[in-house]
């Protein structure tokens, strides 16, 4: 058997498998640990898996041997820290890669006909992710896709590297897992068997780009029972290993185990021979966070019968030299370092904007994960740092909601319909938020996409939600391909924003010039009575106006008020020039051409109806104020309860301390 790295020959007439030399692997390798021979990589038959695109052939087994039982795990030696890697820890500066030497077998027969992927491609491929959370979302997508295989949770947590004590990122699910061949396909480029609409992933590139964007190295543990025989597989994709050894191919060492019924334990599964297995295992133990085979196998203890665990280590630093992911500022969250610093201000509108989810999702993984999926599958949990992520439905943040049907014109395809829910975000216009949250196959692609840009505030506070499956997302799933359909959607959403604004902006305190003069005068009077500035949204104005049929205000009062005010007339739509018409909730503009209102012509019955309408408004205000008072009382009672519980806890603690102190006293009884 010739030594060398196993490769796939793409076009050669020779029957013999071309096996290039791996002398380069040992030329730049750092000093080996004491129990590993310095010439390990040069002398051993090092045959880690070569990453290759699908369809270029299968691995040819060299020789078949009986499985070798895994030796009984003994006490693990203390982990030895690796020497500091020469790879730059800042992601955007770590692309420099120098091959130790040109592979001497490149000129061998068939050598030039073999596809070669330089390890630098791992870094350049990962630059498609501009945002660390976008990379984490790719791994969450893979877990969500495993719902089809019975997955019930995905766990995201901090993992401490036992070699150096540095934090790493752990992502684990209880899906179906992968058999040995599936793991190799996962760690190959461009392979994907997710062709159904039920899957989010489709390109077969997300695992490589996401893990290499988060850190320099990743190790995968997966357990599978699909073929009747339970298997366990471990694979390592290490940019550090490739750079330190000067590889000129992307090599992925992996080992497999299968369950043996006779011994009721997992034994080594030899795809080729024992020498290859041992060589790959030694590479794993040298370049992974685990220094012994027992430590590797211990990672399966909390995985149940099936599932996958991914550990990304040697996480990247930002340009300031700090770790990009912040595990320390919030013990129940993962933050982007430096991005969560809030501007100190006393302005309530800025504070509200900073606290809203549109701002928090930029630096908080918990906030981003809460809106990442339009509908989280039933009985599925996203567990972040030990606490479940509660789904946040942005529709519930909206007031005066409307549903707008949009039918994109798709040439050659059946006509599809998209329903967009649009409304003012609660607290508008004090909260400076606007835009559309566009999903694709249940996955958020563009959060708060701002299609309307107006310095004078038109569109401020208008937020929408839609699922656009008719356009394709980019590879990093953070934007859409700029196709003709995309541009038409952008134009329609902009029109939708302006239409909604023209219909409802007076509800949040703006002077809507599209309304009749009588209605505008009434709105201004309500503003003055409420004593608020025109840019603020006074509660009385919000309560006084008559909501549409889709708003969250009680239907009975709204319908009664609508019936009364509609008898006064309907809107004139001749001046609108919009695709949708006004609802007939506003008073008719009875002004003549010279701008004078003929209010003298209003009869007694109309005055009576208007008086009843004002009575409903006042009653609504009264009930709203009572509700606010009850809510405030509830908050005070809750605070009082918490204070009392805290005092009880302090008293119990003091009591326990006194008991302990009493027990430690040596009390002697005196004899009389």
The 3-class secondary structure across 617-667, one letter per residue, is: HHHHHHHHHHHHHHHHHHHHHHHHHHHHHHHHHHHHHHHHHHHHHHHHCCC
Domain end (from 316, 348, 380):
348
pLDDT value at residue 133 = 95
Q: Are residues 410 and 331 in the same domain?
A: no
Residues 443 and 316 both lie in one domain: no
Domain membership flag for residue 593: no
Q: How many domains does the chain have?
A: 2
Half-sphere exposure of 607 (CA within 13 A, CB side): 6
Query: Which residues span the domain enclosing 486?
Result: 393-516
- Residue 577: the pLDDT is 40
User: What SS3 class is residue 278?
Assistant: helix
Which of 73-82, 285-294, 552-561 ranks highest by mean pLDDT?
A: 285-294
One domain, residues 269 and 415: no
- DSSP E strands in 426-543: the ranges are 435-440, 443-449, 462-467
Q: Between 503 and 15, name the one with better pLDDT.
A: 503
Q: Is residue 293 part of a domain?
A: yes
With beta carbons less than 8 A apart as the criterion, state whether 248 and 28 touch. Answer: no
Query: Of 292, 326, 348, which one is at a domain's C-terminal end?
Result: 348
Asked whether 1 and 47 are in contact (CB, 8 A), the reply is: no
Q: Pick the residue with more confidence: 415 or 404?
A: 404
Q: Is residue 406 part of a domain?
A: yes
Closest of 488, 474, 394 to residue 435, by C-alpha: 394
The DSSP call for residue 263 is T
Q: Residue 263 falls within a domain, yes or no?
A: yes
Could you tell me the CATH number of the domain that includes residue 505?
3.30.230
**Tell me, what's the pLDDT at 83?**
54
Asked if 197 and 293 sit in the same domain, the reply is: yes
Residue 187: the pLDDT is 83
Per the CB < 8 A criterion, the answer to whether 473 and 440 are in contact is yes
Instruction: Give percent of the chain with pLDDT exceeding 70.
Output: 66
Closest CA to 303 of 221, 361, 230: 221
Residue 11 lies in a domain: no
Residue keyed to tokens 């991005």: 339
Say whether both 326 and 414 belong to one domain: no
Q: Which band of pLDDT confidence, cut at 50, 70 and 90, is reported for residue 667?
A: low
* 523's tokens: 């709105």
Q: Say if residue 502 is in the same domain as residue 431.
A: yes
CATH code, domain carrying 233: 3.30.565
pLDDT in tens, 578-591: 444 443 333 333 33
For 263-281, what is the mean pLDDT?
90
pLDDT tens digits for range 515-532: 778 777 777 777 566 544
Is the same domain home to 159 and 303?
A: yes
Same domain (yes/no): 338, 404: no
- Is 335 domain-assigned? yes
Same domain, 398 and 271: no
Mean pLDDT of 459-486: 92
Asked whether residue 510 is assigned to any structural domain, the reply reads: yes
Q: Are residues 323 and 416 in the same domain?
A: no
Stretch (H or E) spanning 238: strand 231-238
Q: Is 334 inside a domain boundary?
A: yes
Domain boundary among 329, 348, 367: 348
* Secondary structure of residue 77 in the 3-state scheme: coil
Does 198 lie in the same domain as 275? Answer: yes
Q: Phi, psi at residue 92, to the nearest 5°?
A: -75, -5
Confidence of residue 87 (pLDDT cuts 50, 70, 90): low
**Domain shared by 406 and 507, yes or no:** yes
More confident position, 25 or 211: 211
Helix (H, G, I), strand (E, B) or coil at 165: coil
């Amino acid at each position: 058997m010739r030594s060398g790295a196993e490769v796939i020959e793409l076009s050669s007439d020779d029957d013999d498998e071309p096996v290039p030399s791996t002398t380069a692997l040992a030329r730049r390798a750092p000093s080996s640990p004491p129990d590993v021979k310095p010439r390990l990589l040069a002398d051993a038959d090092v045959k880690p898996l070569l990453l290759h695109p699908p369809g270029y052939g299968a691995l040819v087994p060299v020789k078949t041997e009986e499985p070798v039982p895994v030796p009984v795990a003994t006490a693990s030696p203390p982990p030895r820290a690796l020497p500091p890697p020469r790879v730059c820890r800042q992601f955007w500066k770590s692309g420099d890669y120098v091959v130790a030497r040109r592979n001497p077998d490149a000129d061998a027969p068939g050598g030039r006909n073999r596809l070669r992927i330089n390890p630098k491609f791992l870094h350049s491929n990962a630059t498609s992710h501009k945002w660390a959370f976008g990379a984490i979302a790719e791994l969450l997508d893979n877990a969500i896709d495993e719902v089809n295989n019975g997955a019930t949770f995905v766990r995201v947590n901090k993992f401490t590297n036992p070699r150096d004590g540095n934090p790493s990122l752990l992502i684990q699910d209880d899906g179906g897992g992968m058999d040995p061949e599936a793991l190799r396909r996962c760690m190959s480029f461009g392979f994907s068997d997710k062709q159904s609409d039920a899957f989010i992933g489709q390109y077969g590139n997300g695992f490589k780009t996401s893990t290499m964007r988060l850190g320099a190295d990743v190790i995968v543990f997966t357990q599978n029972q699909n073929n009747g025989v339970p298997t366990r597989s471990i694979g390592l994709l290490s940019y550090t290993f490739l750079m330190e050894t000067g590889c000129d191919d992307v090599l992925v060492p992996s080992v497999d185990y299968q369950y043996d019924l006779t011994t009721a334990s997992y034994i080594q599964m030899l795809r080729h021979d024992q020498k290859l297995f041992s060589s790959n295992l030694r590479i794993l133990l040298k370049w992974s966070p685990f220094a012994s085979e027992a430590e590797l196998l211990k990672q399966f203890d909390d995985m149940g019968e099936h599932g996958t665990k991914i550990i990304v280590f040697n996480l990247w630093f930002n340009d300031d030299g700090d770790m990009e992911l912040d595990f320390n500022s919030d013990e129940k969250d993962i933050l982007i370092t430096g991005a969560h610093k809030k501007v100190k201000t006393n302005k309530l509108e800025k504070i509200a904007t900073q606290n809203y989810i549109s701002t928090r999702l930029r630096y908080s993984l918990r906030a981003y994960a809460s809106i990442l999926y339009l509908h989280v599958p039933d009985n599925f949990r996203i567990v972040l740092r030990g606490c479940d992520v509660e789904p946040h439905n942005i529709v519930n943040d909206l007031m005066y909601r409307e549903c707008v049907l949009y039918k994109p014109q798709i040439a050659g395809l059946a006509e599809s319909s998209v329903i967009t829910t649009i409304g003012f975000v609660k607290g508008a216009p004090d909260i400076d938020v606007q835009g559309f949250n566009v999903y694709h196959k249940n996955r958020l692609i563009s959060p708060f996409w701002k299609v309307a840009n107006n310095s004078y505030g038109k569109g401020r506070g208008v937020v929408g939600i839609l699922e656009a499956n008719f356009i394709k997302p980019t590879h990093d799933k953070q934007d859409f391909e700029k196709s003709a359909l995309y541009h038409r959607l952008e134009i329609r959403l902009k029109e939708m924003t302006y239409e909604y604004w023209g219909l409802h902006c007076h509800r949040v305190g703006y002077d809507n010039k599209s309304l009749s003069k009588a209605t505008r005068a009434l709105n201004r009077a309500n503003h003055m009575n409420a004593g608020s500035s025109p840019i603020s949204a006074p509660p009385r104005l919000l309560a006084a106006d008559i909501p549409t049929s889709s708003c969250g205000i009680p239907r009975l009062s709204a319908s009664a008020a609508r019936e009364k005010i509609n008898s006064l007339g309907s809107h004139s739509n001749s001046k609108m020039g919009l695709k949708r018409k006004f609802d007939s909730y506003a008073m008719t503009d009875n002004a003549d051409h010279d701008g004078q209102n003929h209010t003298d012509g209003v009869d007694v019955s109309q005055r009576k109806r208007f008086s009843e309408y004002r009575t409903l408004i006042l009653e609504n205000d009264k009930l709203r104020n009572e509700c606010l008072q009850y809510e405030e009382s509830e908050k005070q009672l809750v605070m009082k309860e918490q204070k009392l519980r805290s005092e009880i806890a302090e008293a119990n603690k003091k009591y326990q301390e006194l008991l302990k102190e009493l027990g430690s006293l040596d009390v002697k009884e005196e004899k009389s």
